[in-house]
Amino acid sequence: MNYTKEKVLFVKIADRLCDDILSGRYQDGDRVASVRELAAEFEVNVNTVLRAFDLLQRDDILQQQRGIGMLVARGARRRVLAARRRDFLQTELPDFLRRLRLLGMDVSDVQRAWEEMEA
C-alpha cells in the first residue's frame, strides 16, 4: 500500500475495500477478510483495520455478522458508487476543469483522449 500523507491509514484501507466492492471482488453478502488477515496484508496494527471497519459500518457498507465476521451490506456497491461520484463532482472535477482551462484545452480534447483510450 502507498503510505502517502493525504489520507489517514484507516481511510485508505476503507477506500481499498470500497474499490474491491466496486470492482466486483466483493458482492452483497460476501465475507470480507478478517481484521487479522487485513492487518497482515496492509502491514498495519489490528486497531487500524478495526477503525476502517467501523467507518464502513457507519456508512452501511459493511455489517457485522456474529460468528461469521464482516459482510458486505446489501446495496453497498450502489452506496459506494454514489458517494464516489459525489466526491468526484465536488472535489476532483472542479480542479480538473480549472487545469483544462489553464492549458487551453476543452471538453473535446478530453473526448478525443477518451475515444483513443477505448480503441
Whole-number pLDDT of residue 5:
55
> What is the maximum span of the chain, computed from C-alpha positions, in angstroms?
58
In this prediction the pTM is: 0.81
| Domain map (residue ranges) of the chain | 9-76, 77-118
- Which cell numbers in the block locate residue 10? 484507516
Say if CB 33 and CB 53 are below 8 A apart.
no
CATH of 9-76, one of 3.20.20.150, 1.10.10.10, 3.50.40.10, 1.10.3720.10: 1.10.10.10
Interval 5-20: pLDDT, tens: 568 999 999 999 999 9
At residue 2 the predicted structure's pLDDT band, cuts being 50, 70 and 90, is very low
Helix axes 9-23, 46-58, angle to 10 degrees: 60
Under 8 Å CB-to-CB from 31, ≥6 apart: which residues?
Answer: 65, 68, 69, 70, 71
